[in-house]
Amino acid sequence: MNIDPTKLDALKGLLKKPHVNSLCIWCTVCVSVTSGEYFNLDGDGLSTVSHCDKYDQELVDDAIASCPVHAISWQPCDKTGKYPDGITEHEDVT
């Protein structure tokens, strides 16, 4: 039986969402790969992650693999979509 990994994480209480760090060069690939659903471009020339209740694992993984500067990663989040420990978007997390 195949279980959607995002649902499985939610069942375990482990929610996650994509994160973009400061390496972003505003190439728009992540926006195109996800059809504008999860990423958009802000006024600072960096991609930002849209808040969604659920992210398609495969689509985001494709965006992660396609980013030329490896600026995208999965990070844990709470139910409101906030990253833990005060992590903010465009911060360089590991």
| Positions in the binding site for ligand SF4 (CB under 6 A) | 20, 24-30, 39, 47, 67-69, 71-72
Question: Residue 83 CB, nearest distance to ligand SF4 (Å)?
Answer: 16
Helices (H) and strands (E) in the chain, counts: 3, 4
Question: Residue 43 CB, nearest distance to ligand SF4 (Å)?
Answer: 14
Residue nearer to ligand SF4 on the CB measure, 9 or 62:
62
Of 28, 17, 38, which is closest to residue 87 (Cα–Cα)?
17
Residue nearer to ligand SF4 on the CB measure, 60 or 67:
67
Residue 70: both structure tokens together: 């490896």
Are the C-beta atoms of residues 83 and 11 closer than 8 Å to each other? no
